[in-house]
A and B are shown apart, each in its own frame.
Chain A
Amino acid sequence: MSNDEALNFLAEESIVSSVSPIKHYKIMIADDDSEVHLVTKMILQSFEYEGKGLTFVDAYTGEEAKQLLLQHEDIAVIFLDVVMEDLHSGLEVVTYLREVLNNQITRIILRTGQPGEAPEDRIIREYDINDYRLKTDMTVSRLYTSLYTALRNVQFIYG
């Protein structure tokens, strides 16, 4: 086959009645950078765990994140930026979720651009969070791994 052959290898469309998952895992993305939201959703658009897909809740500031957490009790995982409207917005969200809302179930994946501002060991020790990622480290496979781990935990807790 020559290279400029038309793309005739394309398979025929098969009509697959895709049974959309009855239930979605609700994921919150909290970041002041809209590009982060964009790329995260793009990567996770086809993510499924045990036959269930994802829906997203977007928050651009810490305050907004707290509001939305109050409204959506069933959020499974939060991708949480540390620095938003101020240097500790993300950590305040953690405290709010765990202590004010007394929610121990929702998994928190902390994302930071600058590890110096929020060192990993201290953060995990002092704040009840489940994963800690550098922004430059968020490749597809790592994002998937993190999310699988988190959702498995959620499922385990839910029984």
Chain B
Amino acid sequence: MKFKNRISLYRALMFPMIAILLILFTVFTTLWQFDYRWITTEHSQKLLTALNENIETKLVRYLNEPLRVNQMIAATISLRKDYLNLDASNIQELLKKSTETYSSELPQISVYGYGDENQNFVGIRINDDGSKSLMLKDSRTEGLLNIYTTEDIDSSIVTSIENYDPRIRPWYAPLYEVPVSQWSDIYVNQDEKQEITISSIVPILNESGELVGSSTLDIKLSNINDFLKEDHTKGAGLIYIVDEDWHILAHSGTFSNFVTDNGTVELMSAIDTTESLVRESALRLKEGTNTTATFKQSQIKYYVASEPLEILGWRVVSVIPETDLIGDLLKRQSMTLFLLIMISLVFTYLVYTLIRKIVHPILNVAEVIKRFEVGDYATEELDHVDSVVLETEVFIHAFKGLVDRLNHFFSQLSKSEEKYRSLVENSDDMIITLSSEGRLITVNRKFEENLGRTRDNLIGTLIIDYLDQAHEAEMWLHWINKAIETGIKQENTFSHTSEEGITQHFYVSILPLPDRENLVLCTFSDVTQLIEVQKQIDQIHVQERTNLEMLVSERTQELEHAMRELLEREKLASLGSLVSGIAHEINTPLGIAVSAASYLDTITNEVDKKIEEGTLTKTGLFEYMKNVSEGLSIMNSNLNRAATLVNSFKQISVNQTHESISKFNFKEFIETILISLKHETKIRKIDIQISCDSALVITSYPGALTQIITNLIMNAMIHAFEKDQTGTIQINAEERPHQILLLIKDNGKGISDDHLQHIFEPFYTTNRAGGGSGLGLNIVYNLVTGTLKGKIQVESTNGKGTQFLVEIPKLDGGQL
């Protein structure tokens, strides 16, 4: 199977997820990178520059304040013309006051000094511990520069320096060239401390503008260091000041930036210093044209900004590490990224686990299914599969159920296959499998026995080799091919005579095997015995049939007898119904007669009574007579009706067997009947025509025929025509070889279908009010079908007439 181009479920799920996570990381980090770059390039540089400018501003103020104070001192001296005195006590007093005023405000000033053309010098030094020392050279010190322990001239002298000429000092000499306020070069103080100093110098001029002295305020470079150190904006960074030649003047570090050697100053170059931050930053600034730069050292990024100072041609350089500048942004970014990665990993792991929990059972199932191919249907390992997901659990459960049923099914199948094999092998029929060319593929035990050869010798040989005659070979091949082509079982019979001369009959069924192309299953059933038995059965059948036929004819006779009896009974039943009809018909006129008679009796009694009482009036008598007459008339007519009815019934109940048979001329016979009806016909306008061979002579029942013809004529006269209507009744008689056809036909109003179907039923009449009994045609029917054993048919068309056709069988001499 081609699974190679398919990816597994959890790859299909994991890959996109990981891809999404990676894309997210990339986007996030890129965005951060942008942020970071923006912050570093734009923001941090601005910040740094601002920081630097701030420092510079402070520094400028740090230096300018002393200058302002100095100018004030110089102006005071110049105004008071103190420079003229050889005794410098006034100036000493002034400086002392100044120190008292400014020492706390301007701590950067280390010395308040004064020198003049008289080579006098006054200086008050503020020591590191806050004490003050007086330095003095005037007329009182006798040409020596004395340095006292305190600011008081009476205190003890620490040092005395000879030949001190203030005019050659770096804080004085430059004034000769340019007599304006200025900053001195850096120099070493010539006192016992030999501090490296820079001084603010203000010239003191006389009235004619000539230089007469210099007022100076010293600032120790170490004080500037302290100032820079105190600035906290730098954080872990560094601020330093260099001159135009990149010599370090001051810095915020603790290292020493200069050396003194015999009263001269040697400043350390920023380029050459061992201080790496200073060196690197200086190099970057020097090489670049910008006032800013960055560099990296010990994994820390530093930002550098430099600003030239307005005064002195100095330059302030700030070196700030990134963390101080932009805080922990990068660190926090990294932290966030780390957290994101951790969350993603945990999430991925969870998803992975979950998918595994889903996929693993499915893969397990797949594994189990795969083993089906090699016939292993075990599902036990699925029992331990930990499927946390309901659907998977359901899936596995369903699968196990399916496999269990399959197992069951397979085991049954194999059992039934085994059974089938055993059945085939042990069958009493010969069962073989044949290829399309008639080669034996498999045989069973019976086949071996019958042919007397083992299956090793049989398989692969051709079936036609074992046949009696050559033409059977073609037949066999035809059967086999037909079975294969049509796919339908072929059934044939086939005989085989052994060498001993015993003939066996076989029923052969050739069944195409649906799952094996070009193979047929051939079953030989030995039907030799069956055929014998069949023959015997056939003999028995012939015998049985004869018996059966006899039995049937007996039974038929019995049945016919029963049927005749039934008919008799039916006749009796109809007789019963006839009798009840008779009773009803007769009871009506009789009842009327009874009523009338009782009425007559009643009124006669009344009249008798009246006669006896003598109260009978004439009117009463006439009344009585009238009633008697009426009553008698009713009695008369109804008793007549009853009598007529009884007569008719007598005609019906005449015993037919006793009716006599005679031979007579048929035409004369009809004419006689018409004469007997003369009293009825003469009052009507009906023409009765007879059409009959005058030589026709028949043998029949004249009594019955008389009734038939009379009733049919009377029926036509009563029902077909109204009282005064004219009309024709035709009577035709024709002779046929075995019967006479008698047709009585009128051209009257006809009979409706409703009536026609009841016309022969007893007591069916449309003229009960007119005295009809409903028996006339019934009598005709009974006589024709009973006595004469003939047939009667009626046809009628509404408005055109009715005809009765009577078939009268001829009774020949034998009957007489």
Contact = CB atoms under 8 A, between A and B. Distances in A.
A132 to B, nearest CB: 14
B599 A39 contact: yes
Interface residues of A, number: 33
A12 B616 contact: no
Contact of B601 (A11, A12, A140): A140
Given A39-B634, A140-B598, A140-B599, A135 B588 contact: yes
Given A10-B618, A39-B634, A42-B634, A117 B584 contact: yes
A57 interface: no
Interface string A26-57: 00000011111011101100000000000000
B617 A35 contact: no
A13 B619 contact: yes
A34 B637 CA distance: 12
A66 B601 CA distance: 35
Given A42-B630, A43-B595, A136-B590, A113 B611 contact: no
Interface string B579-600: 0110111111111101110110
27 contacts: A10-B618, A11-B615, A12-B617, A14-B617, A32-B769, A33-B768, A34-B769, A35-B634, A38-B634, A39-B592, A39-B599, A39-B631, A42-B596, A42-B627, A42-B630, A43-B599, A111-B591, A114-B580, A116-B583, A117-B580, A134-B591, A135-B591, A136-B590, A136-B591, A136-B594, A139-B598, A141-B602
Contact of A39 (B585, B596, B601): B596
A158 interface: no
A73 interface: no
A9 interface: yes
B584 A113 contact: yes
A89 to B, nearest CB: 12
B696 interface: no
Nearest to B579: A116
B602 A135 contact: no
Contacts of A40: 595
Interface residues of B, number: 35
Contact of B595 (A7, A32, A39): A39
B629 to A, nearest CB: 11
A113 B768 CA distance: 14
B313 interface: no
A137 interface: yes
B281 interface: no
Interface string A1-34: 0000001011111100000000000000000111
Interface string A123-136: 00000000000111
Interface centre among A38, A39, A43, A140 (most CB of B within 10 A): A39
A141 B634 CA distance: 18
B638 interface: yes
Contacts of A10: 616-618, 621
Given A13-B618, A83-B584, A113-B583, A137 B631 contact: no
Given A11-B614, A117-B584, 17 more contacts: A11-B615, A33-B768, A34-B769, A35-B592, A35-B634, A35-B637, A42-B599, A42-B627, A42-B630, A43-B598, A114-B580, A116-B580, A135-B588, A137-B591, A139-B594, A140-B595, A140-B601
A96 interface: no
B598 A42 contact: no
Given A32-B769, A42-B630, A114 B584 contact: yes
Interface of B: 580-581, 583-592, 594-596, 598-599, 601-602, 611, 614-619, 621, 627, 630-631, 634, 637-638, 768-769
What 8 A-B pairs come out closest when comparing CB atoms? A135-B591, A114-B584, A139-B598, A113-B587, A136-B591, A113-B584, A140-B598, A113-B588
A114 to B, nearest CB: 3
Nearest to B581: A114
A83 B630 CA distance: 26
B588 to A, nearest CB: 5
A140 B601 CA distance: 9
A33 B592 contact: yes
Contacts of B634: 35, 38-39, 42
Interface of A: 7, 9-14, 32-36, 38-40, 42-43, 60, 83, 111, 113-114, 116-117, 134-141, 143
B267 to A, nearest CB: 149
A113 B585 contact: yes
A60 B617 contact: no
Contacts of B586: 113
A141 B584 CA distance: 23
A143 B595 contact: yes
Contacts of B592: 33, 35-36, 39, 135
A9 B594 CA distance: 32
B366 to A, nearest CB: 84
B484 to A, nearest CB: 79
Contacts of B601: 140
A92 to B, nearest CB: 18
Contacts of A14: 617
Given A11-B615, A36-B588, A114 B583 contact: yes
Contacts of B602: 140-141
Given A38-B634, A39-B592, A33 B769 contact: yes
Nearest to B615: A11
Best-buried of B584, B590, B591 by chain A (most CB within 10 Å): B591
Contacts of B618: 10, 13
A35 B638 contact: yes
Nearest to A142: B598
Nearest to B600: A140
A134 B591 CA distance: 8
Nearest to B633: A38
Contacts of A138: 591, 594-595
A141 B598 CA distance: 8
Contacts of A32: 768-769
A139 B591 CA distance: 8
Nearest to B588: A113
B785 to A, nearest CB: 25
Contacts of B596: 39, 42
A40 B592 CA distance: 8
